[in-house]
Amino acid sequence: MGGAASVQESRHWDRLMAMAALGAIRGADGEPGVNRACLTELDRAARRLLIGWAGEAGLTVSVDAAANLFLRHEGTDPDAAPVLTGSHMDSQPNGGRFDGIWGVLAGLEAVQAIREAGIATKRPIEVVAWTNEEGGRFAPGCMGSMSYNGCKRPEDFAAVTDAEGITFGDALRALLESEADIARRPLGGKPFAYVEAHIEQGPVLEREGLDIGVVTGIQGSRWFTVTITGETAHAGTAPLGLRRDAVQDMVRAIEALNRLMADPADILRFTVGRVEVGPNSSNTVADRAVFSIDFRHPDAGVLTERGDAIEPTIRAAVRNCDVHVLERFHALPAVFDPMVREAVSRAASGLGYGQRDIASGAFHDAQFMVPLCPTGMIFIPCRKGISHNPAEYSSPEQVAKGTRVLAATLEELAAR
């Protein structure tokens, strides 16, 4: 357990707070949050900070064609498949100081602590910062981990634009040019195992007074973008029966989807988080309405059956506008590997921390590591389960406990 004991709580917390200063915002009640979208100047600054700390810790840094950033600790057997850990550095626009970034810094702190404890691991350990997990600036999320696992390629996302019309391809190229000094590595890999540390983003661990969640898996997610096209008209003269009103048809579609997604068991999650209308004028009938759909369920059958019913439901509900439905993201429910789950549980027990098995409602890059290698996650509590909100908070003690469990888990996996 040498590495876990060498975790430096204050260094770790100071790094978290230094990252929180990059894109700092204030929530409605003044809480400190973060708005740090992927591939922006703020993201570059955060990556440079991480690269500097990795150098101090004696790790070698490399970047792949999807801008996934890797910090490598060499093992005594450099040819052995590495143990991978990490998460993402990008945040939601109204995000918190822990979602994603804690997992990256926990990986750095855990590996640095293992090295400072003088522990030589058989396997290399790599800490990874995945590109664009959130999908806030460029949809969908998990572009970096999907490119690593090969189910997508970076060029598949090249034409996706952000709100300013900048393409993902251009933003990616610019970021990679800014990191021309960083060693390149090929896309993809075959790790021995992957374990990601992340805040729970739910209320269970806090409510039960527990320190650690041994994550069992992640529910499935499907993202769609719906575009409804009508015709502009004069608000004061066009008869209601003759209008091709994109906003009214969007409302009809969303009301029909609410009926489709009704779920007395409260297991299903259906969210319309983004809406754009045009020409966006009070006295002109809208000819364009675009909205996002984020649909999630732990059962693959429901995800397929209800998800496949989305487009027909929309088409049946709209009155006389044109409809285009694009599926942007389809992540099947992921089940985590007993080898990794048991290693996490042993690490928590060895440290005397309270733990329980827990499923993840949020998606994570770990979902795309499951097809490649034994995969698992470690959760720590966050205050009232709040996330994707500046009020997101985990304490220095909770953060340190999670990182100690990660260090002990990595030590065990890297010795196998």
Would the annotation count 297 as a binding residue? no
The yes or no reply on residue 362 touching ligand HGY (CB under 6 A) is: yes
Question: According to the binding rule CB under 5 A, does residue 200 interact with Mn ion?
Answer: no
Cis peptide before 374 (omega within 30 of 0): no
Give, in degrees to the nearest 5, the angle at Cα 44 between 53 and 78: 45
Q: How many residues bind ligand HGY (CB under 6 A)?
A: 5
Nearer to Mn ion, 15 or 115 (CB): 15
**Residue 252, H or E segment:** helix 246-260
- Say what angle helices 168-178 and 41-56 make with each other, to 10 degrees: 40
Residues numbered 133-162 forming contacts with Mn ion, rule: CB under 5 A: 133
133 residue type, one letter: E
Residues numbered 94 to 113 that lie near Mn ion (CB under 5 A) are 99-100
Please give the structure tokens belonging to residue 126: 């790599």
Q: CB–CB of 119/3 below 8 Å?
A: yes
The interface with ligand HGY within residues 385-404 (CB under 6 A) comprises: none
141 vs 189 by CB, closer to ligand HGY: 141
For residues 328 and 409, give the distance between their C-alpha atoms in angstroms, rounded to a whole number. Answer: 34
Nearer to ligand HGY, 289 or 303 (CB): 303
Q: Is 334 in the site for ligand HGY (CB under 6 A)?
A: no
β-strands 334-335, 183-184: how paired?
unpaired
36 touches Mn ion by CB under 5 A: no
* 324 annotated to bind ligand: no
Cβ–Cβ < 8 Å for 243, 249: no
Q: Which residue has the closest beta carbon to Mn ion? A: 364
For 110, the enclosing helix (H) or strand (E) is helix 101-116
* CB nearer to ligand HGY: pick between 192 and 329: 329
Q: Which residue from 12, 123, 152, 364 is in contact with Mn ion, where contact means CB under 5 A? A: 364
Find the shortest distance in angstroms from Cβ 133 to ligand HGY.
Answer: 6
Q: Report the C-alpha gap between 276 and 395 in whole angstroms.
A: 37
141 binds, options ligand HGY, Mn ion, none, Cβ within 5 to 8 A by partner type: ligand HGY
Q: List, in sequence order, every beta strand (DSSP E) within 107-170.
A: 125-130
Q: Which stretch binds Mn ion (CB under 5 A): 7-15, 128-136, 156-164, 242-250?
A: 128-136
363 binds ligand HGY (CB under 6 A): yes
HSE on the CB side for 411, CA within 13 Å? 27
Task: Identify whether the C-beta of residue 70 lies closer than 8 Å to the C-beta of residue 131.
Answer: no
Q: How many CB atoms lie within 10 A of CB 197?
A: 28
Measured CA to CA, the distance from residue 4 to residue 262 in angstroms comes to 46
Give 123 or 222: the residue with its C-beta nearer to Mn ion: 222
Per CB under 6 A, the segment of 37-45, 133-141, 206-214, 234-242 that binds ligand HGY is 133-141
Phi first, then psi: give them for residue 356, nearest 5 degrees: -155, 160
| Min dist. Cβ of residue 296 to ligand HGY (A) | 8
Count how many Cα atoms sit within 13 Å of the Cα of residue 376 in the half-sphere of its side chain. 27
Q: What is the closest distance, in whole angstroms, from the C-beta atom of residue 134 to ligand HGY in the complex?
A: 5
Name which of 75 and 100 has its Cβ closer to ligand HGY: 100
8 Å CB contact between 36 and 22: yes
Nearer Cβ to ligand HGY (63/362): 362
Q: Is 198 annotated as a binding residue?
A: yes
Is residue 139 within the footprint of ligand HGY (CB under 6 A)? no
Residue 126 labelled as part of a binding site? no
Tell me: is residue 41 an annotated ligand-binding position: no
- Closer residue to ligand HGY (CB): 271 or 280: 271
Q: Does 141 bind ligand HGY (CB under 6 A)?
A: yes
Please give the structure tokens belonging to residue 144: 């970096």
- Point out the annotated binding site for Zn(2+): 88, 99, 134, 198, 388
Which residues of the shown chain bind ligand HGY in the complex (CB under 6 A)?
133-134, 141, 362-363
Which residues of the shown chain bind Mn ion in the complex (CB under 5 A)?
99-100, 133, 364
